[in-house]
Amino acid sequence: MAALLDIRDLRIQLGGRALVDGVDITVAPGEVVGLAGESGSGKTLTALTSLGFVPDHATVSGVVDFDGRDVLALSKRELKALRGDRVAMVFQDPMTALHPMLTIERQLTEHQRVHGTMSRRQARDRAIELLDRVRIPDPKTAITSYPHRFSGGMRQRIAIASALACEPELLIADEVTTALDVTVQAGILNLLQSLRVELGMAMLFITHDLAVMNVVSDRLYIMRSGKVVESGPSRDVLADPQHEYTRALVDALPDTEVAK
Ligand SMILES: Nc1ncnc2c1ncn2[C@@H]1O[C@H](COP(=O)(O)OP(=O)(O)OP(=O)(O)O)[C@@H](O)[C@H]1O
Ligand SMILES: [Mg+2]
């Protein structure tokens, strides 16, 4: 099957430093791919290129092919269409992802206001449906509230709902569970798993936590210092890590996690 996202020999240089140094990553339609690795290894920078974001003043080379087109060569207008419609990203901190002064309804209908032709009423029904989809209780009341009323885990669900508004073919989840405690984490992971099945969307799932990765992803890539040092089906990589760095990560996991 042709890849939905195909990153080839991506290099991002800034001030003489190679922040991303020849990365190849593919995501097939509907596939969940994990990206793990130590802090500063280039995971977020790599993922952001799928939306056409690159750091100011950086020199970028390589190809970021999304469904047959090089994202790095798109015009501003084409990028806007891509971000609004086909690729969405959820970030680590659920508070910064939501605007504190706007109601949940306003934040979830933003997409329709910018891109769509829905009436206010239709957009509102859609917002309620999205909240329901991410298992927010009493969505009709929830849309009239402001973010501070919700717990961290709830806010992360709302941020996910907002990313789902455009029905993306690819959802990039960047450390979405890192800031949450373990039981809330498990809830968000379950949610992402079932959304994947319900919506058939592909996901690029970034985390430094291999235990989380083991649960969610079909295949994974391990990055270190701007390079992919190991990749393969998650089960294989975790059962028999080849690279010394991956081995150290796997050794650090509690036994029960690897045995699954
Ligand atoms: N906008 C930017 N301008 C300059 N340097 C940057 C920028 N964004 C990231 N970097 C640098 O690029 C390197 C890779 O950063 P990146 O955010 O991709 O790491 P990461 O693997 O996502 O780390 P973490 O796990 O901490 O989120 C780091 O050294 C970082 O300091
Ligand atoms: Mg990051």
- The tens digit of pLDDT for each residue in 85-106 reads 899 999 877 667 788 899 999 9
The response to whether residue 40 sits with its C-beta less than 6 Å from ligand 1 reads: yes
Instruction: Provide mean pLDDT across the span 181-190.
Output: 82
Using pLDDT thresholds of 50, 70 and 90, give the confidence band for residue 67: very high
Is 52 in contact with 89 (CB distance < 8 Å)?
no
Top pLDDT among 111 and 100 is at 100
* Nearest ligand to the CA atom of 221: 1
- Tell whether ligand 1 has an atom less than 6 A from the beta carbon of residue 128: no
Query: Which atom number of ligand 1 is nearest to the Cα of residue 48?
Result: 18
According to DSSP, residue 181 is labeled -
Evaluate whether 147 touches 95 at the Cβ level (below 8 Å). Answer: yes
Ligand 1 within 6 A of CB of 57: no
- 233 CB within 6 A, ligand 1: no
**Is this structure's pTM higher than 0.75?**
yes
**75 within ligand 1 shell (Cβ under 6 A):** no
Whether the CB-CB separation of 58 and 14 falls below 8 Å is answered with yes
In whole angstroms, give the CA distance from residue 248 to residue 180.
24
The burial of 182, by beta-carbon neighbours within 10 Å (0-12 exposed, 13-18 middle, 19 or more buried), is given as exposed
Residue 259: what pLDDT?
A: 45
Report which residue type is found at 209: D
Binding site membership of 60 for ligand 1 (Cβ less than 6 Å): no
Quote helix, strand, coil % in the chain, to nearest 5. 45, 25, 30
User: Which residue lies with its CA nearest to atom 14 of ligand 1?
Assistant: 42
Q: Where does the pLDDT of residue 59 fall: very low under 50, low under 70, confident under 90, or very high at 90 and above?
A: very high
Please tell me the predicted confidence (pLDDT) of residue 140. Answer: 96
Q: Which residues pair with 205 in a beta bridge?
A: 34, 173
Is 58 a residue whose pLDDT tops 50?
yes
Q: Which of 14, 206, 240 is nearest to 91 (CA)?
A: 206
- State how far the Cα of 5 lies from the Cα of 221, in Å rounded to an integer: 14
| pLDDT for the residue numbered 256 | 54
Question: In this predicted structure, which of 20-24, 42-46, 96-100, 201-205 has the lowest mean pLDDT?
Answer: 96-100
Distance 165 CA to ligand 2 centre (A): 23
Residue 22, pLDDT > 50, answer yes
CB 34 within 8 A of CB 234: yes
Instruction: Give the range among 157-166, 169-178, 224-233, 251-260 with minimum mean pLDDT.
Output: 251-260
Share of the chain above pLDDT 90, in %: 55
Structure tokens at 228: 């992919």
pLDDT above 80: residue 214 = no
Q: How buried is 157 (Cβ within 10 angstroms: 0-12 exposed, 13-18 middle, 19+ buried)?
A: buried
**φ and ψ of 240, to 5 deg:** -145, 70
Pocket of ligand 1 contains residue 44 by CB under 6 Å: yes
Q: Is the CB of 35 under 6 A from ligand 1?
A: no
Pocket residue to mutate for ligand 1, from 45, 46, 89, most atoms within 8 A of Cβ: 45
Q: In the predicted model, what is the mean pLDDT of the chain?
A: 89
Mutate which of 35, 43, 53, 91 for ligand 1? The one with the most ligand atoms within 8 Å of its CB, which is 43
